Amino acid sequence: MPTYVRFVELPALDQQRVVKFYTEKLGFRVALDREYQEGWRWVTLEIPGAQTKILLTKSNGTTRDVPNLVLTVDDVDALYQDLKEKGVEFTSTPQQAPWNSSESFAVFRDSEGNLVMIGTEGAIA
């Protein structure tokens, strides 16, 4: 039986730009940065204290209309304000989740155009 998710993939056009975005705006850190393929490195990002990492994969330039990444946070409103002050562009403001009235969420685009949802994890209502 699996014990945890090692990494999830996040498409990127520019590894340096996306690393800067996630480390400076969200507080992630680089877990691994190694030569991989010509013109591309094996880069994983991590949230301090979390097991699952994010592997930056080459983007084909297309974006999705649903989040590529969902992050659980303690306070959506506070993080929303913090990220707005750092210049992050949100596609939705903090709101109650239609799937669970005890949760809230907001959605933004990262430096690569990926949609990222930040949300609380409430009790099942």
Cα–Cα dist 37/96, whole Å: 43
CATH code for position 102: 3.10.180.10
pLDDT at 123 over 90: no
Domain assignment present for 61: yes
Domain assignment present for 125: no
Domain assignment present for 63: yes
Count of domains forming the chain? 1
- Average of per-residue pLDDT across 79-98: 96
* The model's pTM: 0.91
Domain assignment present for 1: no
Tokens representing residue 84 in the block: 């707005």
Average pLDDT of the chain, as a whole number: 93
Domain assignment present for 38: yes
Domain assignment present for 68: yes
Range of the domain at 35: 7-119
